[in-house]
């Protein structure tokens, strides 16, 4: 594996940097009021976001330099570590509980979310597995079942926190990887048909998920609680119109929108920058997907290809889910908008993944277009 | 080259990309739907939820006395509220706040933890505490300005004025009766607000100003009211009576000049007094009038020709009515006497005789005509009718007892109005407290003109009765204690036993009363005083007549009504100079401010010094042209009297303007709101009142040179009780 190295995909790189730029500006705009009211400092979240972006870029530079083949060898230890961390976070007293979810590990303000690490960990593991067992992918029992069991364990552990959004994003990414790796359409359809009653059961078992679902179907019926978020989000985006109210001029960020600088930041963006701003973001993600899948297609080996599909799909899926939730196109579940939402671990892991993607691009076999 | 990744994987990835593209397209379409097609709807709904109306309290109208002295004013006061969402530590905040607002920490903590966007902590606190709260600077605790009702004279005219509640709504007295005039209409601020109720910067905003309340000007004269209350209170101390009532009215117009009840209360702190003290007994209490009612009997008998002033009657000390016997207070009997003497001596058998001559129907007609048994219609809430039995129910003994004022119940105001009719040539006037209503811009909205209810007796009869009643208030009449040298006073005493709880009369419980008017030939004042359950002496002539005399004397002097009768010169004490009277009073720790106008600076200074008052000179000139406080206002020693100098009237208008048009800010500390307002307006400056009570701080400071129309901020604090 000592092929001639090329430049990384600068288009992808630039796309990510632009998205990060949007993120910093929007985090500041969306959070300044809350920051001031809560911390007496309008820049509270902005400062922290900048620090996370810097940390994320360092992580990205690092993974961009490290030959991705290393992960192939380390896939199993990475998986075990991931599972260990996911178990650790569930132990009372070890994992930190915030807002009823036990998702964090660490001391003070230095915390990490194992579920974020799990995103990348499981993608690396699956990429190795699928590329090793390329010929067995057609076989359900020997090809598909083992990785599905691994996924099941991780999915269960994350659901236990509970963090349905992340669990779904991971499951979705693995499913996409299966598809890309050449699993039979029949098998995939079977899996999909199995997952529907499973999701139904998860909703049924947790009253708040049920409320979110009914609120999604009819937000006006419950304007105080679950429906409130959706309505406020629609009010925000709807008020934006074509060009928006102007940067910093969101009205809904004045405590009407919940999570205005994290999960619902796209609503503030839609209100302030209008349809033009919102579509720009969608186009940037589309550009990212194009470059990511292109890297996958022109990867030197199947491992790199599947890995690139996994990372690209994970980011694309999260973006699609987030925008779908904020525009009330699917029920509410907590999922950040990659590169844009305020958030530490998530941003760093996402950027580390992008670095990995860029590293794969360096070994691309595609010559024609430089 | 294309062999590294197998062809199916490549195809699948391409398919994936297309699916993702579709999703992107769908999401974009969703945005089109929200941001174009539904945009207007969402925008409207969003604005609707953010726009909140906040009511702006109107300023409640001022209640003035007849000379435009303020009796009830509205000053701004701060109210404390909490926005629980902004409070990080409810316990700490509660602890910091508890002492200032005088509330329990535990209770405060529950208030601060409420799941509401807005909670009142305490309404209308005083300025000192609001400053403390401001300096604490607690998160989630705010202050907002509201208007607070303030009665600058404390207990003065309490039961007339009544009081207004925390939301500036009239609750009792005139505050209630004329609430519709005083209240005004609230304005609105419609502003875009965040989810916790704060205004959004640069948000939408609309303002509809409040319509301030109208001012109510009363017939009450603050000075006469003060005199009346002072004398009533003095009498209450001396007689140790249960309660007392005094009414002063103008018999010619029906306008009430003063109306006082004891015990009384301070409407500034009405909650701290028993509700019984809020009651305006002079209009809501019915009592047996006793001999004062004989005025009515006499009026009816003279009008009907059942007697003349010179008819003679024989009193043996009692009179038999059927099986009963009614005694005369003079048990040995008055012997043979004229009707004038009957009135003068308040002889029961004489009045019973004329009552019998009148008969129940005719007498009943007069009782009704004089307004008994019906509300007088005075403009106060809670008036009683009294108890008058219809003529057809009256037995002979009832006619007899009614004619001496027993077996009938009247309110003090009814009696004062009836006697005023005698004083007013037989014309019964509608009693009233309202003189006029003016809008904040001084337009007259309503003006009360004297209303004649009916002619009860002829002018001739009235004149005759006035003369007869004047005989009562002479050295040997029952009203001798009401005599004032130099004035002809007509009046009638009354002493009634109070009914007991089980029928009959309660032993030792009396109501001593006196009603009279002055000057008898051209009455200006009707004064009624009744003292309920005095200890010791209880005769109306003993306990009530002297009170009437004192009220009349000071009021006559205040009104400048000159003596009409020759004065016995052997006493000559009336000419010792005005200062002696004021000097005498300064020993009692309160001082009547002397009139200092038209005096030279030197004279005015001397006079003030003599009385223990300080002076501050404003303007230039040789003579005092105006003073604040005005003459006859009661102040504590060492109060600064501001003297405005001038040579002629021209200086009056411009205050103490110097050559450059700049004015010196006067020192207003230690003065009441009313005085401060007067001083400031005299200087053509504007005033902003904070708090209530006595001025403690001002900005700009005294002596600073300012332009006309400068806003002077003055902070007031309630005076401490011990001073």
What is the ipTM for the molecules in this complex?
0.92
State residue A118's pLDDT score: 92
Size of the A and B interface in Cβ pairs below 8 Å: 145
Going by pLDDT thresholds of 50, 70 and 90, the confidence category of residue B647 is low
- Mean pLDDT over residues B473-500, rounded? 88
Name residues whose C-beta falls within 8 Å of residue B388's C-beta, 6 or more positions apart in sequence. Answer: B364, B367, B368, B372, B373, B408, B409
Residue B706 has phi, psi (to 5 degrees) of -135, 170
What is the per-residue pLDDT for B224? 93
Least confident of A129-143, B203-217, B570-584, B646-660: B570-584
Whether the pLDDT of residue B192 is over 80: the answer is no
Disruptive mutation site among B34, B138, B191 for chain A (greatest number of A CBs within 10 Å):
B34
Percent of chain B surpassing pLDDT 90: 36
Residues B5, A305: C-beta atoms closer than 8 Å? yes
Confidence (pLDDT) at B661: 57
> Which residue, among A69, A251, A330, would best test binding to B if mutated, counting the most B CBs under 10 Å from its CB?
A251
Tell me B663's DSSP state.
Answer: E
Taking CB atoms and an 8 Å limit, are A285 and B24 in contact across chains? Answer: yes
pLDDT of residue B4: 60
Instruction: Kindly report which listed range (A349-358, B169-178, B507-516, B603-612) carries the lowest average pLDDT score.
Output: B603-612
Q: Is residue A170 part of a domain?
A: yes
Q: How high is the mean pLDDT of chain B?
A: 83
CB-CB neighbours of B451 under 10 Å = 13
**Mean pLDDT across the stretch B422-442?**
94
pLDDT of residue A368: 42
Taking CA–CA distances from B10, the nearest residue in chain A reads A297
For residue B348, what are the contacts with CB-CB under 8 A and spacing of at least 6?
A: B315, B318, B319, B326, B327, B328, B329, B404
With a cut of 50, say whether residue A58 has pLDDT above it: yes
Taking the Cβ of residue B1 and every Cβ of chain A, the question of whether any pair is shorter than 8 Å is answered with yes
Q: How do residues B126-141 score in pLDDT, each as one tens digit? A: 888 888 888 888 888 8
Q: How far is B628 from chain A (nearest CA, A)?
A: 51
pLDDT for the residue A94: 82
Per the domain annotation, does A5 fall within a domain? no
Longest dimension (CA), chain B: 152
Question: Within a 10 A sphere around the Cβ of B563, how many other Cβ atoms?
Answer: 15
For residue B1, the chain A residues in CB contact (below 8 A) are 365, 367
Which residues sit opposite B517 in a β-bridge? B490, B526
Q: Is the pLDDT of residue B694 over 80?
A: no
Judge contact between A296 and A180, C-beta under 8 A: yes
Among B116-125, B257-266, B426-435, which stretch is predicted with the lowest mean pLDDT? B116-125
DSSP 8-state secondary structure symbol assigned to residue B432? B
Structural domain contains residue A271: yes
**Residue B91 to chain A, least CA–CA distance (Å):** 18
- Lowest-confidence segment of A221-230, B269-278, B694-703 by average pLDDT: A221-230
Per-residue pLDDT at B722 exceeds 50: no
Tell me the pLDDT tens digit for each residue of B261-313. Answer: 989 999 988 888 888 889 899 999 899 998 999 999 999 999 999 999 888 98
Q: Is B37 on the interface with A (CB under 8 A)?
A: no
A218 within some domain:
yes
**Residue pair A356/A311 in contact by the 8 Å Cβ criterion:** yes
Q: Flag whether A4 is in a domain.
A: no
B583: its two tokens: 């000097």
Q: Give B-chain residues touching A126 at CB under 8 angstroms.
A: none
Chain B contacts in chain A segment 312-331 (CB below 8 A): 313, 316, 320, 323-324, 327, 329
The residues with which B714 forms a beta bridge, in sequence order, are B689, B698
Contacts with B, A 264-283, CB within 8 Å: 270, 274-275, 278-279, 282-283
Asked if A293 lies within 8 A of B17 by C-beta distance, the reply is: yes
Stretch 46-105 of chain B: residues touching chain A, C-beta under 8 Å: 46, 49-50, 85-86
Environment class of A203 (CB within 10 Å of its CB; exposed 0-12, middle 13-18, buried 19+): middle
How far is A321 from A360, CA to CA, in rounded Å?
Answer: 26
Please indicate, yes or no, if residue A2 is contained in any of the structural domains.
Answer: no
**Residue span of the structural domain in which A215 resides:** 10-369
Least confident residue range of A188-192, A290-294, B49-53: B49-53
- How near does any CA of chain B get to the CA of A76, in Å? 23
Mean pLDDT of all residues in A160-184: 90
| DSSP state for residue B450 in the 8-state scheme | -
pLDDT, residue B650, reads 41
Residues in A closer than 8 angstroms to B23, CB to CB, are 320
At A225 the pLDDT is 62
Task: Spell out which residues of chain B touch residue A313, defining contact as CB-CB under 8 Å.
Answer: 16, 20
Instruction: Give the residue, B371 or B708, on which the prediction is more confident.
Output: B371
Whether residue B526 has pLDDT greater than 50? yes
- Claim: this prediction has a pTM higher than 0.80: no
Is any Cβ of chain B less than 8 angstroms from the Cβ of A222? no
* CA–CA gap between residue A174 and residue A161 (Å, rounded): 20
pLDDT for the residue B584: 44
d(CA B152, CA B674): 7
Query: What is the full DSSP assignment across B220-286?
Result: --HHHHHHHHHHHHHHHHHH--SEEEEEEE-TTT-BEEEEEEES---GGGGGGS-GGGGS-HHHH--
Decide if A146 is inside a domain.
yes
What mean pLDDT value characterizes chain A? 88
For A318, the closest chain B residue by CA position comes to: B20
Interval B228-274: pLDDT, tens: 999 999 999 888 999 999 999 999 999 999 999 989 999 988 888 88
Q: Is A239 within 8 Å of B38 when comparing Cβ atoms?
A: no
**Residue A236 distance to chain B (closest CA, Å):** 8
- Whether the per-residue pLDDT at B616 is higher than 80: the answer is no
What is the pLDDT, as a whole number, of residue B1? Answer: 40
Q: Do A300 and B4 touch (CB under 8 A)?
A: yes
- Using 50, 70 and 90 to split pLDDT, how confident is the model at A221? low
Model pLDDT, residue B98? 86
pLDDT digits (tens, 9 = 90+) for A25-50: 999 999 888 888 788 888 999 999 99
Task: Reply yes or no on whether the pLDDT at A60 is more than 50.
Answer: yes
Closest CB from A239, A256, A306 relative to B195: A256
Q: Which of B74, B291, B530, B555 is catalytic?
A: B291
Query: Where would I find the beta strands (DSSP E) of B302-355?
Result: 312-315, 318-321, 324-327, 335-338
Question: Hey, are the CB atoms on A251 and B46 less than 8 Å from each other?
Answer: yes
Q: Which two tokens stand for residue B514?
A: 């006196």
Determine the Cα–Cα distance for residues A52 and A42; give it in Å rounded to an integer.
17
Lowest mean pLDDT among A145-154, A312-321, B606-615: B606-615
Interface contact A242, partner B, CB < 8 A: yes
Tell me whether residue B89 is exposed, middle or buried, using C-beta atoms within 10 angstroms of its C-beta: 0 to 12, 13 to 18, 19 or more.
Answer: middle
Who's near A248: CB < 8 A, 6+ residues apart?
A: A29, A32, A272
Which of B16, B26, B192 lies at the smallest CB-CB distance from A251?
B192
* Confidence at residue B571, expressed as pLDDT on a 0 to 100 scale: 41
> What local confidence, expressed as pLDDT, does residue A352 receive?
95
On the question of pLDDT at B720 being above 70, the answer is no
Q: Is residue A168 part of a domain?
A: yes
Interface check A299 vs B, CB under 8 A: yes
Query: What value does the mean pLDDT take over residues B391-403?
Result: 89
Output the pLDDT for position B683: 67
Nearest chain B residue (CA) to A317? B20
Helix (H, G, I), strand (E, B) or coil at B500: coil
Per-residue pLDDT, averaged over B70-79, amounts to 84
> Span B636-644, mean pLDDT?
74
Task: Count the domains in chain A.
Answer: 1
Residue B682 confidence (pLDDT): 65
């Amino acid at each position: 594996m000592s092929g001639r190295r090329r430049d990384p995909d600068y288009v992808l790189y630039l796309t990510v940097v632009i998205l990060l730029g949007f993120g910093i500006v929007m985090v500041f705009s969306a959070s300044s009021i809350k920051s001031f009211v809560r911390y007496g400092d309008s820049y509270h979240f902005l400062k922290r976001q900048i620090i996370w972006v810097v940390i994320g870029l360092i992580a990205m530079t690092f993974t961009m330099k490290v030959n991705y083949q290393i992960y192939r060898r380390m896939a199993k230890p990475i998986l075990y570590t991931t599972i260990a961390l996911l178990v650790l976070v569930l132990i009372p007293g070890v994992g930190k509980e915030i807002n009823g979810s036990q998702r964090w590990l660490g001391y003070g303000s230095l915390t990490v979310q194992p579920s974020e690490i799990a995103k990348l960990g499981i993608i690396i593991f699956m990429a190795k597995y699928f590329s090793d067992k390329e010929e067995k992918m057609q076989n359900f029992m020997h090809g598909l079942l083992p990785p599905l069991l691994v996924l099941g364990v991780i999915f269960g552990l994350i659901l236990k926190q509970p963090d349905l959004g992340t669990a779904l994003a991971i499951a979705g990414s693995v499913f996409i990887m299966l598809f890309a790796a050449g699993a039979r359409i029949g098998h995939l359809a079977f899996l999909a048909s199995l997952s529907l009653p499973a999701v139904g059961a998860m909703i049924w078992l947790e009253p708040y998920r049920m409320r979110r679902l009914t609120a999604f179907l009819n937000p006006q019926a419950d304007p105080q609680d679950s429906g409130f978020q959706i309505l406020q989000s629609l009010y925000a985006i709807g008020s934006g119109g074509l060009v928006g109210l102007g940067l910093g001029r969101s009205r809904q960020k004045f405590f009407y929108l919940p999570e205005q600088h994290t999960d619902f930041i796209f609503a503030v963006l839609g209100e302030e920058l209008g349809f033009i701003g919102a579509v720009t973001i969608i186009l940037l993600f589309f550009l990212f997907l194009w470059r990511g899948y292109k890297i996958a297609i022109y990867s030197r080996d199947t491992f790199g290809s599947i890995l690139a599909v996994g990372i690209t799909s994970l980011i694309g899926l999260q973006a699609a889910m987030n925008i779908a939730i904020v525009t009330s196109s699917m029920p509410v579940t907590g999922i950040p908008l990659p590169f844009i939402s305020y958030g530490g671990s998530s941003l760093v892991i996402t950027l580390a993944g992008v670095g990995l993607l860029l590293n794969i691009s360096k070994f691309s076999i595609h010559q024609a277009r430089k | 080259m294309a062999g590294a990744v197998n062809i199916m994987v490549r195809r699948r990835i391409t398919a994936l990309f297309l699916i993702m593209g579709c999703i992107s397209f769908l999401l974009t379409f969703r945005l089109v739907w929200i941001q174009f097609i539904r945009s207007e709807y969402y925008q409207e709904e969003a604005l609707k939820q953010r726009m909140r109306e906040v009511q702006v309290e109107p300023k409640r109208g001022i209640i003035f006395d007849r000379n435009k002295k303020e009796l009830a004013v509205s000053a701004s006061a701060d109210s404390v509220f909490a926005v629980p969402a902004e409070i990080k530590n409810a316990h700490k905040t509660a602890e910091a706040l508890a002492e200032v607002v005088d509330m329990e920490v535990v209770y405060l903590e529950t208030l601060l933890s409420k799941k509401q966007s807005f909670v009142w902590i305490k309404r209308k606190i005083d300025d000192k505490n609001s400053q403390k709260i401001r300096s604490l600077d607690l998160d989630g605790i705010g202050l907002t300005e509201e208007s607070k009702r303030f009665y600058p004279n404390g207990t003065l005219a309490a039961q007339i004025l009544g009081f207004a509640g925390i939301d500036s709504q009239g609750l009792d007295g005139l505050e209630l009766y004329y609430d519709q005039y005083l209240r005004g209409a609230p304005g609105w601020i419609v502003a875009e607000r965040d989810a916790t109720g704060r205004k959004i910067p640069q948000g939408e905003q609309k303002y509809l100003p409040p319509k301030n309340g109208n001012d109510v000007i009363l017939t009450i004269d603050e000075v006469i009211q003060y005199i009346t209350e002072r004398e009533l209170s003095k009498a209450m101390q001396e007689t140790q009576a249960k309660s007392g009532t005094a009414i002063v009215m103008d018999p010619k117009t029906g306008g009430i000049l003063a109306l006082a009840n004891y015990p009384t209360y301070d409407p500034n702190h009405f909650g701290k007094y028993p509700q019984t003290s809020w009651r305006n007994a002079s209009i809501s209490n019915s009592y047996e009038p006793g001999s004062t009612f004989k005025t009515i009997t006499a009026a009816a008998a003279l009008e009907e020709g059942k007697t003349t002033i010179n008819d003679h009657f024989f009193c043996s000390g009692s009179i038999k009515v059927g099986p009963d016997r009614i005694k005369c207070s003079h048990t040995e009997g008055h012997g043979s006497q004229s009707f004038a003497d009957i009135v003068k001596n308040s002889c029961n058998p004489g009045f019973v005789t004329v009552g019998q001559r009148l008969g129940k129907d005719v007498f009943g007609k007069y009782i009704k005509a004089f307004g008994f048994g019906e509300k007088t219609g005075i403009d106060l809430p809670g008036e009683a009718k009294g108890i008058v039995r219809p003529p057809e129910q009256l037995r002979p003994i009832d006619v007899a007892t009614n004619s001496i004022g027993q077996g009938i119940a009247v309110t003090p105001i009814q009696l004062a109005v009836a006697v005023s009719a005698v004083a007013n040539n037989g014309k019964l006037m509608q009693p009233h407290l309202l003189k006029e209503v003016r809008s904040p811009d001084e337009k007259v909205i309503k003006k009360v003109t004297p209303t004649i209810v009916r002619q009860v007796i002829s002018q001739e009869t009235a004149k005759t009765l006035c003369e007869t009643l004047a005989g009562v208030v002479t050295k040997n009449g029952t009203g001798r204690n009401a005599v004032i040298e130099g004035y002809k006073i007509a009046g009638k005493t009354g002493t009634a036993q109070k009914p007991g709880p089980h029928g009959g009369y309660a032993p030792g419980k009396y109501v001593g009363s006196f009603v009279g008017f002055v000057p008898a030939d051209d009455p200006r004042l009707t004064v009624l005083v009744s003292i309920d359950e005095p200890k010791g002496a209880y005769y109306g002539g003993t306990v009530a007549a002297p009170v009437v005399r004192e009220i009349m004397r000071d009021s006559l002097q205040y009104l400048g009504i000159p003596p009409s009768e020759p004065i016995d010169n052997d006493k000559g004490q009336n000419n010792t100079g005005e200062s002696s009277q004021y000097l005498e009073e300064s020993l009692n720790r309160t001082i009547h401010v002397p009139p200092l106008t038209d005096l030279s600076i030197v004279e005015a200074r001397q006079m003030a010094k003599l009385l223990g008052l300080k002076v501050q000179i404003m303007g230039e000139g040789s003579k005092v042209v105006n003073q604040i406080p005005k003459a006859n206002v009661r102040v504590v020693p060492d109060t600064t009297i501001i003297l405005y100098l001038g040579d002629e009237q021209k200086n009056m208008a411009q205050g103490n303007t110097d050559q450059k048009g700049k004015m010196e800010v006067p020192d207003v500390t230690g003065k009441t709101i009313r005085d401060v307002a007067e001083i400031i307006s005299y200087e053509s400056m504007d005033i902003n009142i904070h708090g209530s009570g006595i001025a403690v701080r001002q900005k700009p400071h005294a002596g600073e040179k300012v332009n006309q129309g400068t806003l002077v901020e003055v902070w007031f604090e309630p005076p401490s009780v011990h001073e």
